[in-house]
Structure 1
Amino acid sequence: MVFEDIQYDDILFEAAVGRGTFGVVFKAVWRGKDVAIKTIESDAERNAFLVELRQLSRVSHPNIVKLYGSCDDPVCLVMEYAECGSLYNLLHSADPLPHYTAAHAMSWCLQCADGVAYLHNMKPKALIHRDLKPPNLLLVARGTVLKICDFGTACDIQTYMTNNKGSAAWMAPEVFEGSNYSEKCDVFSWSIILWEVITRRKPFEEIGGSAFCIMWAVHRGTRPPLIKDLPEPIETLMTRCWDKEPSQRPSMSEVRDTMGSLMKYFPGSDEPLNLPHQSSSSNRSGSSSATSTGSCADETIHSNRSDDAKHRSASGGEETLQNTENRIPLQPRTPKARWAAVSRTSSLESQSSAHFSSSVNTCSQSELRMTISPTGTEGSESPVPSVYLKLDHQLQPLAPCPNSHESMMVFEQHIRMAQDYLRVQSEIAHLLNRKEELMAELEQEQKEQQTSSRLIQEHNKLLEDNSSLSAVCQDLRSRLSLIQSQNQPYS
């Protein structure tokens, strides 16, 4: 892709509109067209800037944001401007939340898969994005075209990194576990995005707490709840992609091809969305969208969904696709029968039943409650078991508000984590004791080896002395015989 060295004076800045992996993003005009200017605020951000400049200069794909050029003084990137903002804002933060169909949701995920598959198949060096999430997926053309942005964390596929980039809700477990990881981490992130655009819910929002709570849950096998009435081929693809083992996940090329075959059941993805504050006649209508809105993390932006949009069915916490104001309207554009039509696709069903398996491994609330003792210390009623009250004050689970379901969920999670903490501490103590025993045995063995070595040396010395004495004795005997022969009288 050809890009230019752009003169800073040729850029007409309009407004700051967001943040990316580094720096502030501005809307501006360059050569008569809207552009996004990504700047850096400190020398510490220069590395991320150089990464994004290097990676974007290599790519050219309709589903990846374009890089027009860069400025040297001051340092900044001049990029394609996305007038419709990020997918995250459309899903959760727009006011009012716009309607979209299942066709739009499937199309966005297909376009994302197409762009990532392109990155993974680049020659001579492929790329891993490492930070796929809706804040880094931009929309243009009235919300019908998706573009991937924010390459500040991208790396060559040959480089197996161990640092924790990305955002917790979409991050593959091998990334935050510190393991070596490959391009399959992008496949995991894609599956969470698929779940998010279908349900229009933030992934793992029911867990609450810090990013560590989400990472801990994902590490233990927790995944978003399965979606009621979702066609089996889509569910199978989704669960394959978030498999714990990266080797069991499909390649992004396979994901793209599967999604492409399913899109024939979802016509209408090219119908423009009715977006708030978005003019149909001009792309320069005062939109406040940005090339990247990476600061819109899952823990800081809250959508105003209705209560029934948060409803889950009782069977395993599965999410129901409802025709609510803030959900994907399945009627009349995408009737529920169309989901069933996809499920009846014989080739995909046979493939899924023969080769695919779900890796969802969630803990039910009843299982969590079984770990809670109702009696605290000194016979007083307390939801916190006495064993946990002996922990360090900062590690003790706080008593929940009994009238708050969310508080109880957090409390139960803390109890579970405290259990694991005590178990790990017990294992550590056991291993330390075993280590001391082995060290004592090793020390005793070394002493015995030293004693044996000393005895062997002494034995060898005695053997040498014996040999020397034997030689002296033999010499003396020879001399004695000679003397005796000389002293005999001549016969």
Structure 2
Amino acid sequence: MTAIQRSEIKINPNDKLGEGSFGAVYKGKYQGEDVAIKIINYNIEHEHIQREPFYMAMVSGHANFVKLHAVVMEKTETLLVMEYIDGGSLFRFLHNTKEELTYSQAINLLCQAAEALAYLHAISERPVIHRDVKSLNMLVDAERKSLKICDFGFVRQSGTEMTEKRGTPVYMAPEVFKGKMYTSKCDVYSMGITIWEVLARKIPYYNLKKELQIKYIIEIDKGLRPSLDDLKFDCPDQLKTFIQRCWDKDPNVRPTMQQVVHELRKHKNV
């Protein structure tokens, strides 16, 4: 991780790529290359600012995480200068375009996401947990062949105090709503929802109104899940059953992320 001066980068304020945890992301230039620049204002706890580049540096050896090129630290804000991915978020591709996604392409992208998260969980003695796994935090290239996980704002190591409700409600495991400790199985639950989302090409709980979010959080805790009837592909029953295991209410029933990788690999090139 390289510390640089703000004068070494150029930010295009009119080209906002999105909102990450704790800051907005813009397209810019660094050393003549396109980059994504996340601007984190100092209106949040300092430890949050330090954690994101720390964990990004930790996974720099894995191809399916967005790379951190440099950091700009100023009095009022920190800027993360990151790899720019030209295809945008997987969420945008799924829900805002009409481009085709084949079953093979879908499984390939999901497998890459699971491989990255399995690596994150196994990188240290205590699992490191992403805590905001969703299609919006997965970036794809223009050809939809490669996927990279982004946004490390909520990442924490297992065993640290993590009872605060971090993440996106429709992807969050039921135990998180109850203020229980996060474990790697929370990421597995979110991955299960994301697998469904990609294979159904629908937003989770698309048929429920956003203003009723509190109500469906209660229903999710009672067992409400997306309908497997929405899956667009002729998915094997084995995969459907596995998705249900991923989003089971009981974390002990859920597989590990490495088991998710193993299952998805079985369905590649089918």
TM-score (norm 1): 0.51
Map of 2:167 onto structure 1: 166
Matched, 1:80 2:83: yes
1:44-73 alpha-carbon deviations (Å, 9 max, x no partner)? 264432221121121121111111121112
RMSD across aligned positions (CA): 1.6
Structure 2 match to 1:34: 34
Counterpart Cα distance in 2 of 1:6 and 1:213:
47
Q: In structure 1, what is the equivalent of residue 236 of structure 2?
A: 231
Greater fraction strand: 2
Residue 138 in 1 paired to residue 168 in 2? no
CA contact (8 A) 1:21 1:48 kept: no
2:250 is the counterpart of 1:248: no
Map 1:88-99; keep pairs closer than 5 Å. Answer: 88-94=91-97, 97-99=98-100
Structure with higher Rg: it is 1
| Equivalence for 2:158 | 157
Tell me which residue corresponds to 1:50.
Answer: 50
> What code does the residue aligned with 2:152 have?
F
Question: Deviation at 1:107?
Answer: 1.1
Report the CA distance shift for 1:141/1:89 in structure 2 as closer, same or farther (over 3 A). closer
The answer (yes or no) to whether the contact 2:127–2:158 under 8 Å persists in 1 is yes
Cα–Cα, structure 1 residues 17 and 226, in superposed 2: closer, same or farther, change >3 Å? closer
Change (3 A) 1:46 1:92: farther
Letter in 2 for 1:86: S
Q: Which amino acid aligns with 2:236?
A: P
- Match for residue 108 of structure 2? 107
SS at 2:267 equivalent: helix
Structure 1 Cα separation of the partners of residues 269 and 145 of structure 2: 16
Instruction: Find 2:266's aligned residue among 261, 279, 294.
Output: 261
State how far apart, in whole Å, the 1-side matches of 2:130 and 2:71 are. 21
Q: Tell me the CA shift for residue 42 of structure 1.
A: 3.7
Deviation string for 1:127-180 (max 9, x for gaps)? 100000111111125221111011100100222521111111111101111122
The equivalent of 1:180 in structure 2 is 181
Corresponding residue for residue 70 of structure 1:
71
Q: Whose helix fraction is larger, Structure 1's or Structure 2's?
A: 1
Distance in 1, matches of 2:161 and 2:170, equals 21
In the TM superposition, structure 1's runs of 4+ consecutive aligned residues that sit over 4 Å from their partners are none
Q: What does residue 24 of structure 1 align with?
A: 24
Q: Distance in 1 between matches of 2:109 and 2:215?
A: 29
Shift of 1:82: 1.3
The residue identity in structure 2 corresponding to 1:10 is E
Once the two structures are superposed, the pairs formed by residues 447-458 of structure 1 within 5 Å of their partners are none
- Structure 2 partner of 1:147: 148
Secondary structure of the residue aligned to 2:159 is: coil
Question: How many angstroms apart in 1 are the aligned matches of 2:128 and 2:245?
Answer: 22
Q: How does 1:56-455 map to 2 (within 5 A)?
A: 56-60=56-60, 61-73=62-74, 74-94=77-97, 97-159=98-160, 161-208=162-209, 209-227=211-229, 229-265=234-270
Report the Cα offset of residue 230 of structure 1.
Answer: 2.6
Separation of aligned partners in 2, 1:21 and 1:45: 13
Do the aligned residues in 1 keep the contact of 2:22 with 2:44 (CA within 8 Å)?
no
Give % identity: 38
May I ask how many residue pairs the two structures share in their alignment? 261
Q: Counterpart in 2 of 1:280?
A: none
CA distance in structure 2 between the aligned counterparts of 1:42 and 1:68, rounded to whole angstroms: 21
User: Which residue in 2 is equivalent to 1:5?
Assistant: 3
Distance 1:114 1:251 in 2: 11
Amino acid at match of 1:212: I
